Structure 1
Amino acid sequence: MKEMIDKLYKKSSLSREELKYMLDNMDDDSFKYLMERADETRLRYYGRSVYMRGLIEFTNYCQRNCMYCGIRGSNKKAERYRLTEDQILDTCKTGYKLGYRTFVLQGGEDPDFTDDKIVELVRRIKDIFPSCAVTLSIGEKTYESYKRYYDAGADRYLLRHETATKKLYERLDPKMSFENRIECLWNLKKIGYQVGAGFMIGLPGQKNEDYVNDLMFLKKLQPHMVGIGPFIPHKDTPLSACRRGTVKQTVMLLSIIRLLLPDVLLPATTALGTIDPSGREKGLLAGANVVMPNLSPLNVRKKYALYDGKVCTGEEAAECRQCIERRINRAGFIVDMSRGDNISWKRM
């Protein structure tokens, strides 16, 4: 196994069969070695820096109906909200004063936020904070819409592919097109964004061959960012009784992704910190180098519930930042409040 890990470390590539073998046969010693190699790789490309992104969850309305998601359109128990443009800008101002230089605008696929509104919002943020990066995470759009956002100044776009196994995707995301999801990611790359893909770990029915599909897809796409996290059930969804994903499997896949895509920006996600109090630290030690503290107004935090038990919903933005910074430092890393672009990206 160590020879295979070394091959991945040196060549950033393994065959489909080798990846499957690795996932099927990872023992504790090999897992430790894998994490060490991933840590070395992150150190070589980004040092001990952990980039902080300010997350603004600006709407929990969503027209989609994904089986695992707490803000799915048919969840009548969800308490819906939308932030106004002024509320979003005020949140950015708070974040800027705290040192954030990347704002991640995340929301459900909300028809009320038209392309014109998103374009105007991005323009205003870039006018007020020209040194800051704007990341959008608002789902599937047309090529033309993505191009308008980019031309308005958006720098990055996060769109998890969720799973690269077509049958699994169609079972979990009813009435959505797997092909369209994948096409959106290629369109984003073509336009010039820093692109983030990603998948969930521990979904009902998910097997190691599904993770291999994800890894092979990521290698082909070459995204600038990859967000992965454990599946955590939400009580008001069809998957409420399902078992959640594990820290170990998530950390293992984080390490493999770091070796597969050495210069990738890799978050230690909130979901990881939700299922394990030291989950984010474990992610950082496995090659992750991004953390996204929540800047959203306190009165809406609990309403953006994609899954149950989400951490950091009750802290003020400043407290959240200080808490995470202490934990990052204790784990042996350095907080970096710069834009933190992928080292291979330049705006086209």
Structure 2
Amino acid sequence: MNKIIEKLEEQQNLESDDLKWLLENNTEELRQELAQRARQVSTKTYSNDVYTRGLIEFTNYCKNDCYYCGIRRSNQEAHRYRLTETEILACCKIGYELGFRTFVLQGGEDPEFTDDQMVDMIQKIRKEYPDCAITLSIGEKSKETYQAFFKAGANRYLLRHETANEEHYRKLHPKELSLANRKRCLKDLKEIGFQVGTGFMVGSPHQTVENIIEDLAFIKALDPEMIGIGPFIPHQQTPYKDVKPGTLEETLLLISILRLMLPKALIPATTALGTINPQGREFGILAGANVVMPNLSPVAVRKDYSLYDNKICTGDEAAECRVCLSGRMKSIGYEIVNNRGDYPNKTE
């Protein structure tokens, strides 16, 4: 066990057979050893700092029909909403006053928000908050659109690839979507100069150990600045409503592996982790993560951005309870800091 872990730490990569062994021998002892080394690697770059991202979920309309997602267009039970530009800017104002220096505009692929509208909104946020990072998470666009967003002042873009395997991709998405296009988007974003985030669901329907190994190889080759992984949690209004959720243990193991593979990556302890375990985000940080993403969305709509069942949307997930989250991080020896938390050696 130790030989494989040492090789991973030294080479920042492993052969498929070694990765398979780690994934198939996921014991408490193995997780503890990986987590300890992952924390050491993370603190070399980031000390004990934990960065916050103010999440603004501004629309839950989506033109896509992904089989695992609670806001898929076929979900007739979803209570749909769109925030106005005024509401989005108000979220930024509240967030800035709370100490947030990164805003994440996340939504379904909603055609009502045109490219021009998004550019205008990005420009307004950039002008009002020049010291902040602006992250977008709004799906697949043309390279020209991404370029326009970047020129307007967006710095970062989150686009989970979800799976690097074509056969697995087909089991998760309708035929009008393609893995090739998703990969094209990530390549375009990197070329333009965005700090790019990708990732996948742990324990997603039909996922195999071999799929995860492909995902790790894809992420290593892409070399993203951010990696978001979290356990799959089913939603009752999707075809996969009865599929068993991903586990805390497998997610923590993979956070540690990814930290050792990409030592400088910004890795969130996700809301999904906090949903499957009350201390999930703390466990995520202790496994090598270094980002948390509290919710800045208006309280009235938080429950409607329901990608999966039982998503936490009050209490510590609320940005207003930043003090509580700070206390939770301090209890495990980490500190929330009020800065953008940029990827090292990147200018923006």
TM-score, length basis structure 1: 0.98
Separation in 1 of the partners of 2:29 and 2:233? 28
Tell me how far 1:314 sits from its aligned partner: 6.0
Distance 1:224 1:344 in 2: 11
CA 219–237 in structure 1, closer or farther in 2 if over 3 Å, else same:
same
**Which amino acid in the other structure matches residue 65 of structure 1?**
D
Tell me if structure 2 keeps the 8 A contact 1:263–1:344: no
Matches within 5 A, 1:111-150: 111-150=111-150
**Structure 2: stretches of 5+ with no match in the other structure:** none
In structure 2, C-alpha distance between the alignment counterparts of 1:125 and 1:317, rounded to whole Å: 21
Residue segments in structure 1 that go unaligned for 5+ positions in a row: none
Counterpart of 1:151 in structure 2 is 151
Q: What is the deviation of 1:164? A: 1.0
Report how far residue 313 of structure 1 moved.
3.4
Contact 1:298 1:315 in 2 (8 A): no
2:313 aligned counterpart, secondary structure: coil
18-27 or 160-169, larger mean C-alpha shift:
18-27
- Offset of 1:27 from its aligned partner? 3.0
Contact map agreement 2:295 2:319 (CA 8 A) in 1: no
Shift of 1:315: 6.9
The structural deviation recorded for 1:20 is: 1.5
Deviation, structure 1 residue 320: 2.5
Distance in structure 2 (CA, Å) of the matches to 1:122 and 1:50: 25
Q: Deviations over 1:47-84 (max 9, x none)?
A: 10000110000000000001111100110100100000
The number of aligned residues is 347
Mapped partners of 1:285, 1:300: distance in 2: 31
Matched, 1:76 2:76: yes
How far off is 1:17 after superposition? 2.2
> What amino acid maps onto 1:307 in structure 2?
Y
Equivalent residue for 1:16?
Answer: 16
- Alpha-carbon distance in structure 1 between the residues aligned to 2:160 and 2:169: 12
SS, match of residue 241 in structure 1: coil
TM-score, normalization: structure 2?
0.98
> What is residue 252 of structure 1 aligned with on the other side?
253
CA distance in 2 between counterparts of 1:126 and 1:18 reads 45
Does structure 2 retain, via aligned residues, the 8 Å contact 1:141–1:184? yes
Distance 1:127 1:65 in 2: 35
RMSD: 1.1
Cα distance in 1, alignment partners of residues 120 and 289 from structure 2: 33
* Cα distance per residue 1:99-139 (max 9 Å; x no partner): 10000000000000110001000000000010010000000
Aligned counterparts, 1:309-320, within 5 A: 309-313=310-314, 317-320=318-321
The 2-side partners of 1:25 and 1:245 are apart by: 16
Point out 4+ residue stretches in structure 1 off by more than 4 angstroms: 314-318
Give identity over the alignment, percent. Answer: 55
The CA deviation at 1:336 is: 1.1
| 1:201-240 map, 5 Å | 201-240=202-241
- 2:22 and 2:318 map into 1 onto residues whose CA distance is 40
